[in-house]
Chain A
Amino acid sequence: MRRRPLWSWHVGGGMLLAVACATLTLKGDQGSGRDRIGFSHQRHANAKIECITCHEDVYDAKTLEAVQLPKEKKCLECHKEQKEKGNCSFCHSDVQFAGPFPKRSQGLQMSHASHIERIGEDCNRCHLKLPEPGQNDDLIPPMAVCTNCHQHQTEYAAGSCGGCHLDLSRFPLRPISDFSHQADFLRSHMRPAHSNPESCYQCHEQNFCQDCHSSSLPVRLELRLPERVDRAFVHRGDYLGRHSIEARADEAMCRRCHGTSFCDGCHMRENLTPAASNPRNPHPDGWNLPGSRNFHGDAARRDINSCAACHDQGANSNCVSCHRVGGIGGNPHPPGWTSHHPHSEIGHNSMCVFCHM
């Protein structure tokens, strides 16, 4: 086969990139994350300033999205003189990049409004630690804080997490490793799907399965999510060049998603099948020579799916003409065939009749 050079550009894509970069430039001075607010909770607590003084919207916040961190004007109620003096570094680590706090993903369904009175406005009941300058630790209250009050064994046993958790996908290892998607989950996820399908559906809908398992969409998953280079995909990179090796390594794996016609359609366009308009012979020398290291009988026994990828045309399959009873190809069945398939089966399987007329 001839190697083909190909270089092309998509002008529209380039324009999109240009627009993206231009807009990014406009937006780059907001919420870039390079500016940090040097705020000390401890110092304010020592000054007997109550949480509500700054976090007043927490009282009415029914979702985590509704919880807003204090805006600058709240700080200026006490520290106005620092801004008037131009002492930006009193709060900002890099005022050049000052902007709104970045949005936080809402992974939980949690109402501050319904909790705050029950706990006597004692925020420390849940917020065991509060951020201090220079700290990068994740200080979100741990789940144990919730389970101190909310007994949830029933929900946990039933896998009914949706009452609180909107998204379980971000959690890594145990105790949430029961739902872990780390390690070799790509290869192993069929096991819980076989035996625990309802557990999967607690977090994922069938739409989620179809993102990967939809065999109808012509754009394969790796091209649909090309930016996720950290994820494990089956067909990543130049899969075309190695697909024959993968197919021989695990034929059943291909067959779980792809039918014979999937292979045949592509091979026909490449003129590799007898059904193509100008068929080429892809087989090595000695293919029809018994005893040859390239003899087709051995290759077929080893990897019949590769044969079927081009030659599966039912009664017109080219193996039938030689291997039918009385043909020059002889009996093609593997050893022990008759012990599993009595002669009476011929009458029940139309495929048998093509050779056993």
Chain B
Amino acid sequence: MAARGALLLVLLAHNALAAGTTVDASSTTFVGTQPDWRDGQTKVVVPFFERVALSLKSDEISFVQDLRLTVSGWAGADGIVAHRDTTVFTGDLDLAYVQGSVFGRHLTLTVGRQLVTGGVARLTPIDGARAEVKIWRGLGISGYWGAPAVPRFMVARGDSVIGGRLFWRQSYSTEFGFSFNQVWDHSIVGRRELGLDARYVPDPKWTLSGFAAWSLLESRLAEGDLAVIYQPISKVEVSARYQRTAPDLFISRASIFSVFAETRRDEIGGSVAWRPQRWLNTYVDANSVSTDSGGGFDGRGRVSANLRIPSTVGAELRALYVPANGYFDTRLFGIQRFTPDFFISADLDGYFLKNSVNGVGQSVSASASASWIFLPRWRAVLTGTAGSTPFFSGTFQVLARVVYEFSFHHQETR
């Protein structure tokens, strides 16, 4: 298999690597059965996928610091056995970039398929280049240019993109940024935004964060977010937040539907996380949703306990009601560890719909998994799921996964 071969090459190459080099790699094999509906009929398909991720870092090259090569990709077939005639052999490259810093880490360059983050870039995969310059005392600027990477599902994100961010990084937790992003789509400007972002920790108990993206094409707010986190004691965390989005601005201006969409969605709410004991975690949040066409509610609660056996058990509740429909969800889950290398887990999930979907008002699904490290660096997971849902009166799936991970740290220890 090509992927395993690549890993073998890495293993062999490892011997030639200099001290100060770190190699992290993993190979994951998925195989399973699952229902697939094509042309109005349900068939059983057996998807098979192989995923490989590799990261190679070196700090031993004299003029380049933190040299890094990262590659992640997968290949597979999406319907062998049941769809011999229509099986699609496919694959994709998620990441493939080289990164390095020069001038005492004042300039960092990244070239290749990468993720761009920060400010109005949000999380954008691009084929291109990014540069970051640390100017003075936390002040820096970054810029990127490239083509938005179009993955297998053809998520259209435009033809080309350019952007940048000016930032002041006071500490690991406090940073302020001003950013710009423009996307060309079908030969027109599909998106042009200015952004302000901030995270400020005035006191260890308080964290304030905010983000605003201003659409220059529409002269209105595309997205805004304010959040306050307060941790009066180590076991309690309280947060409050407000978020505004303009759903229509998440559709490219190159789509005819962008002229019809709702222009406002507001959400305000808060959460409380409380850890009364080391082994007990609780969490609850509630949010009120307001849109042009009406209001709604989104809330959830969760309690989990890490028992000494050791095992974990927990329960979750969720209620989501919007003008068109809603549901109330309950879920139980548990993990039992028999040895450090072997554990089983299971969950049971059921929800009740406000208005029936496909003539059915509830859905129940359950899963059980066994995870086992059968050799050093090798993990096998076998999972079975069953359920009765609005779209399947009965369904059963089996999924097997084998993961091989290795890591070499040739670093000096302190």
Q: Which A residues form the contact surface with B (CB < 8 A)?
A: 1, 3-10, 12-14, 16-17, 20, 23-24, 27-28, 31-33, 62-63, 102-103, 109-111, 114, 136, 156-159, 163-164, 166, 172-175, 177-178, 180, 182-184, 188, 190-200, 202, 205-207, 209-210, 213-219, 223-224, 226-230, 236-238, 240-242, 244-246, 248-252, 255-262, 265, 269-271, 277-278, 298, 300-305, 307-308, 311-312, 314-315, 317, 319-320, 332-334, 337, 340, 348-351, 354
Contacts and interface: CB of A to CB of B under 8 A. Distances in A.
Contacts of B398: 9-10, 13-14
A92 B338 CA distance: 19
Given A24-B372, A159-B172, A245 B327 contact: yes
Q: Which of B92, B157, B246, B372 has the most CB of A within 10 A?
A: B372
Interface residues of B, number: 169
Most chain A CB inside 10 Å of its own CB: which residue of B209, B223, B343, B364: B209
Interface in B381-414: 381-385, 387, 389-396, 398-401, 409, 411, 413-414
Contacts of A210: 53, 72, 94-95, 115
A197 B343 CA distance: 34
Nearest to B263: A334
A166 B64 CA distance: 23
Nearest to A31: B339
Contacts of B46: 10
B413 A4 contact: no
B94 to A, nearest CB: 5
A193 to B, nearest CB: 6
A312 B40 contact: no
A8 B33 contact: yes
Contact of B209 (A32, A63, A191): A191
Given A136-B308, A196-B172, 18 more contacts: A3-B358, A3-B391, A3-B393, A8-B396, A156-B172, A184-B271, A199-B173, A215-B153, A219-B30, A224-B30, A237-B349, A241-B357, A245-B353, A248-B324, A248-B325, A307-B257, A311-B257, A350-B186
Nearest to B26: A207
A197 B324 contact: no
B214 interface: no
Contacts of B186: 350
B72 A241 contact: no
A5 B153 contact: no
Interface in B113-135: 114-115, 117-119, 122-123
Contact of A350 (B188, B331, B347, B409): B188
Contacts of B72: 206-207, 210, 214
A322 B359 CA distance: 32
Contacts of B312: 230
Residue from the set B118, B241, B327, B414 with the largest chain A CB neighbour count within 10 Å = B414
Given A195-B177, A260-B156, A12 B247 contact: no
B367 A229 contact: yes
A172 B304 CA distance: 14
A349 B252 CA distance: 12
Interface string B135-178: 00000000000000001111111000000000001011101110
Contacts of B367: 226, 229
B247 A110 contact: no
26 contacts: A3-B392, A5-B392, A13-B31, A13-B382, A16-B400, A109-B409, A164-B414, A191-B211, A195-B119, A196-B175, A207-B53, A210-B72, A215-B152, A215-B153, A218-B47, A223-B399, A226-B367, A227-B345, A236-B349, A237-B363, A259-B153, A301-B293, A302-B291, A304-B248, A312-B257, A351-B258
A60 to B, nearest CB: 12
Given A195-B197, A348-B188, A183 B271 contact: yes
B358 A24 contact: no
Nearest to A245: B325
Contacts of A103: 340
B122 to A, nearest CB: 7
Interface in B166-208: 169, 171-173, 175-177, 186-188, 197-199, 201, 204
Contacts of A304: 247-248, 251, 257, 260-262
A209 B123 contact: yes
Contacts of B339: 28, 31-33, 102
Contacts of A178: 172-173, 201
Given A4-B392, A20-B372, A214 B151 contact: yes
Contacts of B234: 173-174, 177
Nearest to B211: A194
Given A23-B374, A265-B153, A114 B414 contact: yes
B355 to A, nearest CB: 9
B219 interface: yes
B273 A182 contact: yes
The 5 closest A-B pairs by CB, nearest first: A159-B172, A216-B151, A259-B155, A183-B273, A227-B369
Contacts of B331: 236-237
Contacts of B204: 174-175
Contacts of B199: 191-192, 195-196
